Structure 1
């Protein structure tokens, strides 16, 4: 297993369990104890975990992986979600994007669409985002008018948060907004691990004619620290076909329009 893959597995395990032991990681990663200890020491030096005697702990209860590692998770599901989300966007739309690996994948998918990337005297799409990595992806696309909020950079998600970001988003009108989430529960709604991200994400959704939650099925039925709202804020959810049918039915009954990426495409 490559070092980057080991790092991703370690951080994903900490996100799920909160604590890991070297002995367990040796078996899981098929690596020597010395290699595992070096990996833990490296991640600790980067501020991504806390070393303990015999293992490691997550930094906090609201543990969240940095974006560069989360990109490696559930790649196929995120691709299908991105394709379903792209189908909702029309030429000339004003589209909002929060940060996150799934929203980033949607932007990459839109960047391959011939009708959007065709040469034009006026922009074929306007994108408003608080994610600096998404802005970088689109910076060299003259067919896209790019609006980037100001704000304070969140180093794990590459999102700009705070009053500057909120001020810009509050002053625009969006055709559609794609917002990522760390969790979606029928009773408590969508949520993230960071309250600053939650405020910006909720505001972006409220400024859109259509607000779409995009998240893979592993996040359904879960809760997180900072609420963004329920069907009163987000009218649509796009997830993947691994989702529990009962959870999908419950979301529909609570008021969401649910799009199951892959399954809905095949059904059509």
Structure 2
């Protein structure tokens, strides 16, 4: 990390260690740089600080550890999710077997399959995704079962990796609650780690779909490095920040 970036982060961390939070705009003002620069600093850091609702907090501060609320997430960044899924849908081809994970980010992608003429197979462990595509005549649904987790409308089981490996998955569409250049990709729920990792390992092409509000954020359940993906579909500040933070040409960054 460059010296000035480290100095800015040290100053912000010193403030946060006294308790409380700092709004992104205030952090930028204190350091005399743009908000994008602060986002880049945090994204390239060691994960000690994360963004929570537009505010910087210490990652290990239990007072600000959020709970996942599926109902609240449905309306969160809805326009961004629509744009992201439009970009992600460009990778789908006729006859593909698609892995689509849980949450709300990829729901517009699942819903968009109603408007295509070709046939695809959708593999998922998410009940909301299954409900969105199960009635479509052009979609063959494979619903992975197990213990049901109402908090995320998804299933989990120890046998899920074997079931995923038996399937020929062309593209795995993965969402995340946290996206950090150094600390990788993470989510809220530990039962999601197994199917996400199995799909990443099995798929011919791995596509991360994540809006810029997740940039620099670390959640409890780590599941992958950013360089394990072939494509990252993102928006806003994350586009430039990831291009700068990830050397070389892998993964491919698609800004929408």
1:197 and 2:192 correspond: yes
* 3-state SS in 2 of match to 1:174: coil
1:147 and 2:142 correspond: yes
8 Å contact from structure 1 (residues 221, 247) kept in 2: no
8 Å contact from structure 1 (residues 161, 196) kept in 2: yes
* 3-state SS in 1 of match to 2:159: helix
Instruction: Give TM-score, length-normalised by structure 2.
Output: 0.71
The structure 1 residue matched to 2:179, chosen from 171, 181, 184, is 184
1:238 and 2:241 correspond: no
Tell me, which stretches of 5 or more residues in structure 1 are unaligned? 1-16, 19-58, 117-123, 262-268
The structure 2 residue matched to 1:92, chosen from 73, 80, 95, is 95
Following TM superposition, the consecutive aligned residue runs of length 4 or more in structure 1 with deviations greater than 4 angstroms are 59-62
Shift in alpha-carbon separation, 1:146–1:106, aligned structure 2, 3 A: same
Cα distance, 1:170 vs structure 2: 2.4
1:165 and 2:160 correspond: yes
- What do you get for the CA RMSD once the two structures are aligned? 2.3
Cα distance, 1:244 vs structure 2: 6.0
8 Å contact from structure 2 (residues 134, 140) kept in 1: no
Instruction: Give TM-score, length-normalised by structure 1.
Output: 0.68
* 3-state SS in 2 of match to 1:243: helix
1:68 and 2:71 correspond: yes
Shift in alpha-carbon separation, 1:131–1:150, aligned structure 2, 3 A: same
Q: How many residues align?
A: 198
Shift in alpha-carbon separation, 1:144–1:81, aligned structure 2, 3 A: same
Deviations 1:47-104 (A, max 9, x none): xxxxxxxxxxxx9865333222201011111100010011100011010000011111
Shift in alpha-carbon separation, 1:244–1:129, aligned structure 2, 3 A: closer
1:210 and 2:213 correspond: no
8 Å contact from structure 2 (residues 127, 154) kept in 1: yes
Aligned-partner Cα distance in 2 for 1:207–1:177: 9
8 Å contact from structure 2 (residues 181, 226) kept in 1: no
Cα distance, 1:207 vs structure 2: 1.1
* 3-state SS in 1 of match to 2:66: coil
Cα distance, 1:242 vs structure 2: 4.3
Aligned-partner Cα distance in 2 for 1:252–1:106: 29
Aligned-partner Cα distance in 1 for 2:127–2:164: 15
Aligned-partner Cα distance in 2 for 1:87–1:65: 29
Shift in alpha-carbon separation, 1:174–1:251, aligned structure 2, 3 A: same
